């Protein structure tokens, strides 16, 4: 995991909401790639910085394991996996290096439209569907609430209708998905956006200079954007 390398590896989402803006940001930093046939590994041409195209969920683990040096991923995914690691006694092994100002969304509790929201205590004994069980458990336990966390990897909003959960905790961007499923947002657990995630410790090989240069360029690009 700590093998020395003379090229930097950045993991980004292969497809999905963060995929295009992540690539554009890196291109604006002066990076370009020769695309391989399968396009999962893009060899850096302008600089020794390669891209790995993966599922966003895999990005925190790839950095933690030292397979990738950096990743562009939602704070929601980073925090969830950091919390999950803490639950089993592991340190996060990665950190948020820069907020990137795109992919904004909130991790929220949402209840059926017909309910009145009276606060966290109301959740006692209820079933909550989510793809973010560790963040949710942490939030509930901080409030002394015992509820059952139903883990789903997608289409969480359908759970109340199927009666597999009473309410949900999921990402909200425009709010259209909640609305279409007769749910309303009531509490924010996390304000999320795309972030640059990186290692906890610095590099002691060629990646140190590359990494400093990348961050310098990225700061320049981010400044121009706001
Ligand atoms: C995300 C999220 C919500 C939806 C919110 O799902 O899980 O379902 O987007 O967006 P909105 O507030 O603009 O409607 P996504 O489409 O990424 O699919 P997934 O849940 O299968 O990952
Ligand atoms: Zn995902
Ligand atoms: Mg969804």
pLDDT tens-place string over residues 118-168: 999 999 999 999 999 999 999 999 999 999 999 999 999 999 999 999 999
Per-chain residues with Cβ under 5 A from ion ligand 2: 56-57
Query: Ligand 1 pocket, 174 CB below 6 A?
Result: yes
The phi and psi torsions of 218 (rounded to 5 degrees) equal -65, -40
Give the pLDDT score at 35.
Answer: 77
Cα-to-centroid distance, 211 and ligand 1 (Å)? 32
> Which residues on neighbouring strands pair with residue 169, listed in sequence order?
109, 130
What is the spatial distance between Cα 60 and Cα 65, in angstroms, rounded to a whole number?
Answer: 9
Query: Ligand 1 pocket, 153 CB below 6 A?
Result: no
Give the pLDDT score at 62.
Answer: 97
80: closest CA among 17, 13, 22, 138? 138
Query: Ligand 1 pocket, 66 CB below 6 A?
Result: no
> Which residues on neighbouring strands pair with residue 9, listed in sequence order?
50
Query: Ligand 1 pocket, 77 CB below 6 A?
Result: no
8-103+193-225 matches 105-192 in fold: yes
Handedness of CA 59, 63, 68, 73 (dihedral sign): positive
- And the tokens for 204? 């002691």
* CATH architecture of the domain formed by 8-103+193-225: 3-Layer(aba) Sandwich (3.40)
The pLDDT-based confidence of 224 (bands split at 50, 70, 90) is confident
What is the spatial distance between Cα 35 and Cα 29, in angstroms, rounded to a whole number?
Answer: 18
pLDDT tens-place string over residues 76-119: 999 999 999 999 999 989 999 999 999 999 999 999 999 999 99
The phi and psi torsions of 219 (rounded to 5 degrees) equal -60, -40
- According to CATH, the superfamily of the domain at 105-192 is Periplasmic binding protein-like II (3.40.190.10)
The pLDDT-based confidence of 225 (bands split at 50, 70, 90) is confident
Q: Are 217 and 224 in contact (CB under 8 A)?
A: no
Burial environment of residue 101 by CB neighbours within 10 A (0 to 12, 13 to 18, 19 or more): middle
Q: Are 181 and 156 in contact (CB under 8 A)?
A: no
Q: How do beta strands 167-172 and 127-130 pair?
A: parallel
Handedness of CA 145, 147, 153, 157 (dihedral sign): negative
The domains of the chain are located at: 8-103+193-225, 105-192
Q: Show Cβ contacts of residue 167 under 8 Å, excluding neighbours closer than 6 positions.
A: 109, 110, 111, 112, 115, 123, 126, 127, 128, 129, 160, 183
Cα-to-centroid distance, 210 and ligand 1 (Å)? 35
> Best of 172, 175, 179, 192 to mutate for ligand 1, by most ligand atoms within 8 A of CB?
172
Question: At which residue do the structure tokens 């017909």 appear?
Answer: 114
pLDDT tens-place string over residues 190-213: 999 999 999 999 999 999 999 999
């Amino acid at each position: 995991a700590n093998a020395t390398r003379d090229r930097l590896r950045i993991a980004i989402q292969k497809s999905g909401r963060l995929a295009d803006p992540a690539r554009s940001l890196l291109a604006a930093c002066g990076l370009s790639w020769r695309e391989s046939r399968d396009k999962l590994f893009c060899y850096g041409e302008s600089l020794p910085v390669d891209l790995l195209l993966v599922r966003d969920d895999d990005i925190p683990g790839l950095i933690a394991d030292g397979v990738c040096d950096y990743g562009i991923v939602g704070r929601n995914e980073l925090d969830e996996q950091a919390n999950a690691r803490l639950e089993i006694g592991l340190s996060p092994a990665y950190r948020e290096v820069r907020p990137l100002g795109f992919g904004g969304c909130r991790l929220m509790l949402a209840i059926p439209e017909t309910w009145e929201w009276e606060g966290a205590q109301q959740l006692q004994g209820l079933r909550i569907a989510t793809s973010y069980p560790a963040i949710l458990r942490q939030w509930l336990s901080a409030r002394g609430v015992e509820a059952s966390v139903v883990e789903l990897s997608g289409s969480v909003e359908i759970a109340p209708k199927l009666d597999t959960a009473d309410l949900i905790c999921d990402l909200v961007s425009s709010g259209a998905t909640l609305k279409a499923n007769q749910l309303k947002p009531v509490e924010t657990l996390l304000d999320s956006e795309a972030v640059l995630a990186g290692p906890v410790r610095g590099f002691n090989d060629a990646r140190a200079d590359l990494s400093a240069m990348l961050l310098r360029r990225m700061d320049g690009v981010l400044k121009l954007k706001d």
